[in-house]
């Protein structure tokens, strides 16, 4: 079984890199780390980067996950091959673009593009955000899935994720103590459904709520609180329809809790997404 160590980055195509860059800096509050031709790299913590916008198809998304060693990467390639999943080993140029020592790429059962990487670069420079949004780091993604039950099997049996809770057929999957790093939501689309950054507190969420309203950014869910992870949240719309989320206070499932932990089943209902009464304007969250 493949053991994912952590989620590392998201790469997104866009027809307008400059507009996306202004949004990521001025609205989300990430640091522009560098520009490499038609690709712009952004930091949210001490990693080299956690988000890339590149000139390309806005449906072209890739999510990177870190493994701990080259041996694990080679083992992962063998496991995927045994599962009849086609893999691509990154060239030296592709590794340089990702700032990693090595990687393989494959598509999950729904067609989403996944990188498994080793030796991803950290930054030797202090993280200096473009403005004080209270961001502590990139934390998780939602993925689109035409069949969440089928795809749950792939993520748990092949990629080693564990189910923390389910909303309807949608599993919330953890790869470490954090309640979830991946969530699978019913959709006929392929790729990333939303991108989450953690912020320090509810104060940052509420400041963002008023700041985004004033700036005319479309808020699509919240402020609210998830009954699953316990996190307080705010979702808002970004370039090319991508949904971004701030959240704070996410639940941890520790090694001591793990042996007796039982995933909870929540119905597909508004109250399963928000215990405060906020209603989502996100297609995959609508009942």
117 phi and psi, to 5 degrees?
Answer: -125, 155
- Whether 26 shows a pLDDT value over 90: the answer reads yes
Residue 22's pLDDT is what?
98
The owner of tokens 């995933």 is: 263
Q: How far is CA 276 from CA 124, 250, 270, 272, 281, in A?
A: 41, 16, 10, 10, 15
Residues 149-167 have pLDDT tens digits of: 999 999 999 999 999 999 9
Kindly give the residue spans of alpha helices, DSSP state H, lying in the chain.
17-23, 70-82, 92-98, 148-157, 202-215, 270-273
- Whether 1 shows a pLDDT value over 90: the answer reads no
Average pLDDT over residues 268-277: 97
The DSSP secondary structure of 238-276, one letter per residue, reads -GGG-EEEEEE---B--TTTGGG---EEE-SSHHHH-SS
User: Which tokens go with 231?
Assistant: 């996190």
Q: Rounded to an integer, what distance in angstroms lies between the CA atom of residue 169 and that of residue 163?
A: 12
Least-confidence region, from 4-13, 211-220, 254-263: 254-263
pLDDT band with cut points at 50, 70 and 90 for residue 255 = confident
- Whether 142 shows a pLDDT value over 90: the answer reads yes
Vertex 62, ends 148 and 9: CA angle to 5°? 105
Residues 218-229 have pLDDT tens digits of: 999 999 999 999
- Whether 287 shows a pLDDT value over 80: the answer reads no
Domains (range + CATH), the chain: 6-118 (3.10.180.10), 135-285 (3.10.180.10)
């Amino acid at each position: 079984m493949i053991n994912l160590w952590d989620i590392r980055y998201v790469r997104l195509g866009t027809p307008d890199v400059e507009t996306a860059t202004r949004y990521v800096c001025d609205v989300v509050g990430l640091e522009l780390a560098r520009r490499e031709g038609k690709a712009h790299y952004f930091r949210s913590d001490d990693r080299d980067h956690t988000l890339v916008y590149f000139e390309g198809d806005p449906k072209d998304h890739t999510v990177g996950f870190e493994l701990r060693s080259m041996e694990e990467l080679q083992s992962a390639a063998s496991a995927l091959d045994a599962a009849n999943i086609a893999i691509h080993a990154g060239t030296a140029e592709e590794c340089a673009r990702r700032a990693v020592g090595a990687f393989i790429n494959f598509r999950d059962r729904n067609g989403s593009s996944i990188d498994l990487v080793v030796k991803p670069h950290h930054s030797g420079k202090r993280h200096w955000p473009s403005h004080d949004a209270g961001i502590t780091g990139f934390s998780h993604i939602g993925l689109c899935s035409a069949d969440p039950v089928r795809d749950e099997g792939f993520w748990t049996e092949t990629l080693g994720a564990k189910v923390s809770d389910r909303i309807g057929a949608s599993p919330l999957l953890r790869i470490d103590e954090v309640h979830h790093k991946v969530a699978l939501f019913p959709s006929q689309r392929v790729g990333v459904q939303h991108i989450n950054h953690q912020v320090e507190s509810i104060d940052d969420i509420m400041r963002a709520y008023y700041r985004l309203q004033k700036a005319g950014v479309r808020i699509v869910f919240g402020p609210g609180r998830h009954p699953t992870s316990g996190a307080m949240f705010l979702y808002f719309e970004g370039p090319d329809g991508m949904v971004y989320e701030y959240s704070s206070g996410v639940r941890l499932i520790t090694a001591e809790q793990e042996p007796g932990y039982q995933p909870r089943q929540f119905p597909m209902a508004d109250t399963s997404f928000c215990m405060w009464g906020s209603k989502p304007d996100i297609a995959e969250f609508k009942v």
